[in-house]
């Protein structure tokens, strides 16, 4: 067992997991029954995608992130695969593009519309044909745009450049043929210059993906690896697997020496797989057990004992898969540092779990939110293929700072008060003949104000369906919800009338001031 010191100063010692209430869960979701060892869920700030059961092929659901509650049983699916879908991943630089791989030996790239789905999506944006057998894993490059890695049961890893015009791509830019068996896991370092893999032969390999050479390889017999993970810039690898006695086991490795692990620890005797998830901003490591309801979390330090146990989130609901929200989708006002989306197939439920740092202050906590990876690529596909390495672009999570949305940007709706700026603008335009009699400074001020007001309506690009924003307010499903929405709209109309009346009074006051100025 790892050594736990009696006292250790840390900002994350008291992090706790908080499950969302039933009204914020996704209910009646037909989660896949496939036994493949994958997450089966992908999340970004706009959508949650989950692999589902489908007759006659493979499919997955794409649900707006704020459309919680019961899912319509006839909700449209993304269903263009001929075999079961085994993995799905959102493009880290575009919240409206998702990749999927399947037992039909293909990888498909899909464009998701930014309005509510009304019919099934069956035509992909791009189709990647190269694997001879089913494709079990896909990973987007962390810093280069439009570079995708896929791994199949033909023991090959293929690198695809999607920055081409062809809709069907048959030739990958590189094929990594360094594994004697199926690849179980892939992980990139921070700038994407190195790839770590876990193979069914129970070995970890460190690969230069552009050269196709194996730089390091483990020959350690007492740790049978299933999943491997790069720990950011810590120059370390973390793996989960089983020991000789079939106990679930975790291990920590030096990136430059894979002969013997730095640390090895048995957890329990359960048979479910362990999914490792690392947060490079807080240096926290989460270990999620498949088939149980536990999430263990640790803090990584550069010196011994390297792995510091913090706590364990426990639940009686077993999880089949897990999705994680990118940092730019977290609620910083409640000190949320991570969010999981837990798949519970026994109840057809997706349950969000927030990891929260307890703080009394309601202000932005800069010490627990360092600069994080932005939603813009640092390199083009051609630059990366030519050998250029570059770390991710960084952005602050402070509210009001530079935009952290991925392209194409989906703007949040502005307060409705600003929509009355149009009527005010028209009123000012109707009184333009008086402008010649104003003082020069007042003329400049009014012109600046007009320019600002002209820009406001253009920025308010809200995705509407039948008159409401589908991301902020999903369509009502019951008569009670419809009545509540009606009353809310009536209250909003009353409030807007008051605002318009106040503006009218203000306009009359300004007219009086202008007349006084003219008489003077």
Sign for the pseudo-dihedral over CA of 173, 178, 181, 185: negative
Sign for the pseudo-dihedral over CA of 427, 432, 435, 437: negative
423, containing H or E segment: helix 421-430
**pLDDT at residue number 8:** 65
Between the CA of residue 462 and those of 111, 190, 467, 472, 473, what are the distances in Å?
Answer: 19, 34, 10, 10, 12
Cis bond before residue 408 (omega within 30° of 0): yes
> How far is Cα 260 from Cα 221, in angstroms, rounded to an integer?
10
**pLDDT at residue number 207:** 95
Of the candidates 114, 1, 57, the one whose C-alpha atom is nearest the C-alpha of residue 463 is 114
> How far is Cα 62 from Cα 282, in angstroms, rounded to an integer?
29
As a three-state string, the secondary structure of 446-482 is: HHHHHHHHHHHHHHCCCCEECCEECCCCCCCCCHHHH
User: What spatial distance separates the first Cα and last Cα of the chain, rounded to whole Å?
Assistant: 88
Between the CA of residue 298 and those of 83, 258, 322, 501, what are the distances in Å?
Answer: 38, 22, 18, 57
**pLDDT at residue number 326:** 95
Provide the token pair at 407: 């392209």
Q: What are phi and psi of 31, to 5 degrees?
A: -70, 145
Between the CA of residue 21 and those of 218, 320, 349, what are the distances in Å?
Answer: 44, 20, 12
> How far is Cα 494 from Cα 502, in angstroms, rounded to an integer?
13
pLDDT per residue of the chain (520 residues) written in tens, 0 to 9: 444 545 567 889 899 999 999 999 999 999 998 888 899 999 999 999 999 987 777 899 999 999 999 999 899 999 989 999 999 999 999 999 999 999 999 999 999 998 778 899 999 999 999 999 999 999 999 999 999 999 999 999 999 999 999 999 999 999 999 999 999 999 999 999 999 999 999 899 999 999 999 999 998 888 999 999 999 888 999 999 999 888 999 999 999 999 999 999 999 888 889 999 999 999 999 999 988 889 999 999 988 889 999 999 999 999 999 999 999 999 999 999 999 999 999 999 999 999 999 988 878 888 999 999 999 999 999 999 999 999 999 999 988 776 544 444 333 333 433 333 333 344 334 333 333 444 444 445 544 444 444 444 443 444 444 444 444 456 666 766 777 777 778 778 888 888 898 888 889 888 888 888 888 7
What is the DSSP track for 333-349?
GGTEEEEEEEEEGGGTE
Sign for the pseudo-dihedral over CA of 219, 210, 228, 241: negative
| pTM reported for the whole predicted model | 0.76
> How far is Cα 326 from Cα 374, in angstroms, rounded to an integer?
10
> How far is Cα 264 from Cα 305, in angstroms, rounded to an integer?
11
**pLDDT at residue number 291:** 87
Provide the token pair at 257: 């020496």
Taken in order of first residue, the domains within the chain and their CATH numbers are 16-373 (2.130.10.10)
Instruction: Count CB atoms within 10 A of the CB of residue 418.
Output: 14
């Amino acid at each position: 067992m790892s050594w736990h010191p009696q006292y250790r100063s840390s900002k994350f010692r008291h992090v706790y997991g908080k499950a969302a209430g039933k009204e914020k869960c996704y209910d009646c979701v037909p989660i896949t029954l496939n036994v493949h060892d994958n997450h089966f869920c992908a999340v970004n700030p706009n959508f949650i995608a989950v692999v589902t059961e489908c007759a006659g092929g493979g499919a997955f659901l794409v649900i707006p992130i704020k459309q919680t509650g019961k899912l319509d049983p006839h909700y449209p699916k993304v269903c263009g695969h001929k075999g079961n879908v085994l993995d799905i991943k959102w493009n880290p630089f575009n919240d409206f593009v998702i990749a999927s791989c399947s037992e039909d030996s293909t990888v498909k790239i899909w464009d998701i519309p930014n309005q509510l789905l009304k019919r099934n999506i069956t035509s992909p944006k791009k189709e990647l044909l190269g694997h001879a057998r089913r494709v079990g894993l896909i990973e987007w490059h962390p810093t280069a745009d439009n570079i995708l890695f896929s791994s199949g049961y033909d023991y090959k890893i293929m690198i695809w450049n999607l920055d081409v015009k062809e809709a069907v791509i048959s030739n990958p830019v590189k094929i990594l043929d360094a594994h004697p068996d199926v690849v179980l896991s892939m992980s990139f370092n921070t700038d994407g210059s190195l790839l770590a893999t876990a193979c069914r032969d129970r070995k970890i390999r460190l690969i230069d993906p552009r050269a196709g050479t194996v730089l390091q390889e483990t020959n350690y017999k007492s740790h049978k690896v299933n999943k491997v993970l790069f720990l950011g810039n810590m120059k370390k690898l973390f793996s989960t697997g089983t020991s000789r006695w079939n106990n679930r086991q975790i291990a920590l490795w030096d990136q430059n020496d894979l002969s013997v692990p730095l640390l090895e620890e048995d957890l329990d005797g359960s048979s479910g797989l362990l999914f490792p998830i690392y947060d490079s901003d807080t240096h926290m490591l989460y270990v999620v057990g498949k088939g149980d309801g536990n999430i263990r979390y640790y803090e990584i330090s550069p010196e011994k004992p390297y792995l510091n146990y913090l706590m364990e989130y426990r639940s009686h609901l077993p999880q089949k898969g897990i999705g994680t929200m990118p940092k730019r989708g977290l609620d910083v006002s409640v000190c949320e540092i991570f969010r999981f989306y837990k798949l519970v197939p026994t109840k057809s439920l997706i349950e969000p779990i927030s990891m929260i740092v307890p703080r009394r202050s309601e202000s932005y906590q800069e010490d627990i939110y360092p600069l994080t990876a932005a939603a813009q690529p640092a390199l083009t596909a051609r630059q990366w293929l030519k050998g250029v390495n570059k770390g991710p672009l960084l952005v602050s999570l402070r509210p009001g700072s530079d935009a952290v949305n991925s392209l194409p940007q989906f703007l949040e709706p502005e307060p409705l008060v600003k929509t009355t700026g149009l009527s005010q603008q028209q009123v000012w335009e109707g009184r333009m003949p008086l402008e010649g009699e104003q003082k020069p400074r007042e003329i400049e001020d009014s012109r600046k104000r007009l320019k600002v007001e002209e820009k406001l309506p253009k920025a308010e690009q809200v995705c509407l369906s039948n008159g409401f924003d589908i991301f902020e307010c999903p369509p009502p499903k019951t008569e009670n919800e419809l009545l509540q929405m009606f009353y809310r709209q009536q209250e909003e109309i009353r409030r807007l009338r008051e605002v318009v009346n106040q503006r009218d009074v203000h306009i009359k006051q300004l007219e009086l001031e202008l007349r006084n100025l003219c008489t003077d």
